[in-house]
Amino acid sequence: MLKKRKVLSQVSFNQKTDSDLAMSKQIQKKIGHYDKKSAQALIKVEHLQKIYNEFSSRQHVVLWDINFTVFQGDCIALVGANGSGKSTLIEILACVREASCGKIYYNLDYKIYPEEKIGIQFQKSSYPTGITVNNVIDFILDTHKIKLTLAERKELLHAFGLNDLAKENIRNLSGGQRQRVNVVLSILHKPQFLLLDELTTGLDIVSQNQILSYLKAFLNKHKITTIMSSHSIREMDTLCNRLIMIRNGYVMADARIDVIHKKFGSVETFLQKYMGG
DSSP states of 13-56: PPPPPHHHHHHHHHHHHHH-----TTSPEEEEEEEEEEEETTTS
Over range 88-97, report the average pLDDT: 94
Over range 34-38, report the average pLDDT: 76
Percent with pLDDT over 90 in the chain: 58
Contact indicator for 157, 148 with CB cutoff of 8 Å: no
pLDDT > 80? residue 125: no
Q: Tell me how far apart the alpha carbons of residues 260 and 30 are, in angstroms, rounded to a whole number.
A: 9
Task: With H, G, I as helix, E, B as strand and everything else as coil, classify residue 109.
Answer: coil
pLDDT > 70? residue 3: no
pLDDT > 60? residue 10: no
pTM of the model: 0.88
Instruction: Give pLDDT, residue 1.
Output: 37
Over range 15-20, report the average pLDDT: 68
